[in-house]
Structure formats: structure tokens, C-alpha cells
Amino acid sequence: AKITFITRDNETIELEGTSGSVMQLAVDNNVAGIDGDCGGVCSCATCHVHVAPEHQAKTGEATEIETDMLELNDYANEQSRLCCQMEISEELDGIVLQVAESD
């Protein structure tokens, strides 16, 4: 699936992935701002992205554990996902993810 990241510096990075989490794809390709500090267990929020509204149908909504994690995040909104919780599949082809701000 083709997944596009837009970094905080407005750099557009297009990646191609077939499996694993979206966070891992970003980390493997050095997408600035996606750190994946917790290794993908949904406890650090350094993989926070905003899903473009027109792509939210593809990614689905944040799971409860993500929502709990994002509750305390100043930059979270209804487009927020923690991308370690997003599994790459063809379903995600063409999505655009904006790397969220952080403190």
C-alpha cells in the first residue's frame, strides 16, 4: 500500500509497505517526528498522526486504548491515530498522514 506522510516541516514522504505497522514503516524510513519510542505498544504517543478527513473511512477510528492515550495530548483531535496501531494492508492504499505536533 502507498502511504504518504507529511512531516512537521511540510515535507511529503511517500512510502510503500506491505505488512507490519504504519509506525514501523515510518521509523524504518526515518520519517521525521515518528519515533515509536514504546516499540508499538500504544504507550508513548510518539507515533501520533492526523489522518486526512477523506481517508478516515479507510483507517477507521482510533481504538479505545489509543483514545485513552490521546486524551491527555494537547494536539489530539478527531483525526488522531497512533500509527503503531494501524496495520498495513491494501485497504490503506493512498492514505495521507500528517505527523502531529508534540511538546
- E strand map for the chain: 2-6, 12-16, 48-51, 80-82, 95-99
- The one-character DSSP state at 71 is T
Q: Which three cell numbers stand for residue 92?
A: 490503506
* Shortest reach from residue 11's CB to ligand FES, in Å: 20
CA dist., res. 17 & res. 26, Å (int):
10
* Shortest reach from residue 91's CB to ligand FES, in Å: 19
Comparison of 54 and 75: residue with beta carbon closer to ligand FES:
75
* Shortest reach from residue 38's CB to ligand FES, in Å: 3
Give the type of residue at 64. E
Comparison of 28 and 54: residue with beta carbon closer to ligand FES:
28
Comparison of 54 and 97: residue with beta carbon closer to ligand FES:
97
CA dist., res. 36 & res. 56, Å (int):
22
Which residues of the chain form contacts with ligand FES (CB under 6 A)? 23, 36-38, 40, 42-47, 82, 84
